[in-house]
Structure 1
Amino acid sequence: MNIRCLLEEREDRFLSGHACRSKESVGRSRPEESCTIRTAFQHDRDRILHCKSFRRLKHKTQVFLAPEGDHYRTRLTHTLEVSQIARTVARALALNEDLTEAIALGHDLGHTPFGHAGERVLNELVPGGFHHVRQSLRVVDVLEKDGAGLNLTFEVRDGILKHSKGQGPIQGADPAVRAVTLEGRIVRLADIIAYVNHDLDDALRAGLVKSGQIPGRIIAVLGETHSRRIRTMVNDIIQHSLAADGGEIRLSDPLAEAVTDLRDWLYDHVYQAPSVHEDFAKAARILRELFLFFMENEEALTAHGGRRLPGDCREVSVADFLAGMTDRYAINLYHRLFLPQPWKLF
């Protein structure tokens, strides 16, 4: 018996009856030989962890554009915090940690440079719109490995596709936005738990807001410190999911309301703050002008590393190229294309 089979037997013995077991996966779009030492979900996790799109997350904005301080979050550290929170919940509920981790690590692979400012620009310019969730799925299905994709399992792909809430309800029963696995539903909540806490922490560090400005009703429910708030939210999910006999992943109503209030407060006082908004307006201009340039210069698109996949219109190909950029790559490319360069002496 190989190691993978032993791991699958261990899942049968120790995981909850509600857990998604590796050997019961719906499978991959393209059949392939199973790994002898890793389960299907472990294999997916490793494919995501080693792909180029994952490495580029370290230079993509979370909230603060190209911060000078070393301790502000990036899209990569956000992803790692989501993974840690999600795995804690999955372990407490005896669900599949490997599936949970794979979804968490892959959920933001399609995010643009400059955070949601970049996403809004591409959404305006691409026919049919642009959303980082769909782009994350496109990355793992099509764009990685020079167009071959990562060939992930259905359950990981489904969790990536259904992780986002935007400014909508953080808990909803709509099947269109509800992951088929409990592990995917954990990541959906872990995502908002991570970002409302670390975005607030970064805003406090930057002096953008003061702790005394946070509404008292939010502090009363969630706690006064960063660690207390995360602990309160994670504990609430675990306790109320257990109370539902492990068959659902949810926050209690008071906690869900407080988290929603904190998210909305952050939109008003952090994400739309003049100092943040002004930088994002500049970043949006960079992406807009790059998009228009490459739409008019297809040879330049391929010369700079973009590509046209069969069946894709030019707008989609340009959006793929721009969405894959890091902040600094986009800024440097903008400088090379649109600003005078110093003369070189020979």
Structure 2
Amino acid sequence: MADTAPEPSARAQQWARTMRGHVAEHGLVRAHAGSDARVGPGRTVDRLVREAYEREVLRPGATLAEGAGDRARPEEPDVERTCFERDRDRIVHSTAFRRLAGKTQVVVHPTDHQRTRLTHALEVAQIATSIARGIGVNATLADAIALGHDCGHGPGGHASEDAFDAFVPDGFDHGPWGADVSLADLNLCTQTLDGIRNHSWSRPAPATVEGEIVSWADRIAYCAHDLEDAVHAGIVRPEEIPDVVADVAGRTRREQLGHFVRAVVRAVEEHGEVGMAPDSAAALAGLRAFNYERIYVRPESLAQSRAVVVVLKALVEHLAAHPDRLPTTVVRTDDPVRDAVTYVAGMTDRFAFDLAVRELDWDRSRLPQGIDRDR
């Protein structure tokens, strides 16, 4: 007797009945039966209305979308979105942004609650937009820069920069690489690219106040969040946080984020410049120094970094010597080494490590290992 398909569940049947939505008396299709989501009369809030709102509301020194939108390849303005809203949408929908979900923030093979590059980018965006709204500048531009700021990172965290340094004449820096390589096809505005390129404190100052905000938001985010991950993993204990940090900004992620965000907003209010008062800045520096000593350069972390460098260098060398192994999606130049770096830098951790096993017969015991709890 022929098999018969099982009867769909009541839930599945209910879901199927919503396939076409719900038709109102006047023919409009609604998402919900009985919906009455109405708004008052008025024109659509299109790009021109939003640009006018920015002119009216944002404080002097803010970056206005009106008059911006300068891109490497000229484009007609969007009807609904400002140029920076358009940039933000392009970043969120990009392959480089999606791949951040599979890239290391601090440890490879993160557990359920440890950050990835993607969750870090989202948290930086939340902090940056909070600061930008608090001081009355362009939160959309800050959001776009923050979401894109780490798209140039390779697999395995900051160790990938050490691996790729050997192949890039001026060294590999994830900020410029993200702006000039990883996100180049998105044709983003120069203000967005500048903020992404220069978010690290070792780079030249960003050209906009929103880019400067993201520089602070990035440091605030990774200091507080990396500490929280380390506490959850049993690497450090909250009571070990130095007094210079705890007495000013607290011992929990919530306390620290609240304090540091308010500190930047207060600095702008008092001085008209993005920064922090000395006591808050010292607390943030103390937190970063504590993380550096207790998390980033602990023996297990350094072992992980060394393993990342070795495997990524081997992949680049192999692919540069065998450019036929690069997929057709890689934009070719006359430099096979750079092409190989471009390909490997775009990989997620898992893809890179699996490729090393397949292509190089890499011993899995030599791959970067996750950091176990209570080591």
Normalising by structure 2, report the TM-score.
0.82
- Segments of 4+ in structure 1 off by > 2 A? 124-128, 139-142, 338-341
| Count of residues paired in the alignment | 320
Q: Secondary structure at the match of 1:22?
A: coil
Match of 1:239 in 2: 266
Match of 1:9 in 2: 52
Match of 2:323 in 1: 298
The 5 A counterparts of 1:145-184 are 149-165=185-201, 177-184=204-211
Match of 2:218 in 1: 191
Which residue, out of 38, 44, 62, partners 2:105?
A: 62
The residue type equivalent to 2:224 in the other structure is N
After superposition, what is the alpha-carbon deviation per residue over 1:186-218, rounded to whole angstroms, capped at 9, x for unaligned? 000000000000000011111111222222222
Please say if 1:258 is aligned against 2:283: yes
Question: Structure 1 residues 140, 25: CA separation in 2 closer, same or farther (over 3 Å shift)?
Answer: farther
Of 117-126 and 91-100, more deviation after overlay is shown by 117-126
Which residue, out of 94, 115, 127, partners 2:136?
A: 94
The 5 A counterparts of 1:261-300 are 261-300=286-325
After superposition, what is the alpha-carbon deviation per residue over 1:18-37, rounded to whole angstroms, capped at 9, x for unaligned? 21110131611211111000
Please say if 1:207 is aligned against 2:237: no
Q: Separation in 2 of the partners of 1:200 and 1:118?
A: 22
Match of 1:129 in 2: 171
Match of 2:94 in 1: 51
Kindly name which structure, 1 or 2, has the bigger radius of gyration based on alpha carbons: 2
User: Deviation of residue 141 (structure 1)?
Assistant: 5.4
Q: Separation in 1 of the partners of 2:231 and 2:350?
A: 25
Q: Separation in 1 of the partners of 2:231 and 2:251?
A: 13
Q: Secondary structure at the match of 2:341?
A: helix
After superposition, what is the alpha-carbon deviation per residue over 1:240-285, rounded to whole angstroms, capped at 9, x for unaligned? 111123xx21111121122112112211110111122222222222
Contact 1:140 1:152 in 2 (8 A): no
Identity %: 38
Question: Structure 1 residues 141, 80: CA separation in 2 closer, same or farther (over 3 Å shift)?
Answer: closer
Q: Which has the higher contact order (CA 8 A, sep 6+)?
A: 1
The residue type equivalent to 2:121 in the other structure is T
Question: Structure 1 residues 217, 300: CA separation in 2 closer, same or farther (over 3 Å shift)?
Answer: same
Which residue, out of 89, 105, 117, partners 2:147?
A: 105
User: Deviation of residue 161 (structure 1)?
Assistant: 1.1
User: Deviation of residue 140 (structure 1)?
Assistant: 5.2
Contact 2:131 2:261 in 1 (8 A): yes
After superposition, what is the alpha-carbon deviation per residue over 1:73-126, rounded to whole angstroms, capped at 9, x for unaligned? 000000000000000011111111111111111111100100011111101232
User: Deviation of residue 340 (structure 1)?
Assistant: 8.3
Match of 1:25 in 2: 68
Contact 2:228 2:252 in 1 (8 A): no
Contact 1:140 1:151 in 2 (8 A): no
Q: Separation in 1 of the partners of 2:331 and 2:62?
A: 40
Q: Separation in 2 of the partners of 1:137 and 1:307?
A: 16
Normalising by structure 1, report the TM-score.
0.88
The residue type equivalent to 2:210 in the other structure is E
The residue type equivalent to 1:308 in the other structure is R
The residue type equivalent to 2:313 in the other structure is R
Please say if 1:138 is aligned against 2:165: no
Q: Separation in 2 of the partners of 1:141 and 1:85?
A: 22
Unaligned ranges ≥5, structure 1: 143-148, 169-175, 342-346
Q: Separation in 2 of the partners of 1:335 and 1:140?
A: 25
Over aligned residue pairs, what C-alpha RMSD do you find? Answer: 1.8
Match of 2:14 in 1: none
Q: Secondary structure at the match of 1:164?
A: coil
Q: Secondary structure at the match of 2:264?
A: helix
Contact 1:117 1:281 in 2 (8 A): yes
Which residue, out of 123, 129, 142, partners 1:81?
A: 123
Q: Separation in 1 of the partners of 2:270 and 2:118?
A: 33
Q: Secondary structure at the match of 2:186?
A: coil
The residue type equivalent to 2:259 in the other structure is T
User: Deviation of residue 48 (structure 1)?
Assistant: 0.7
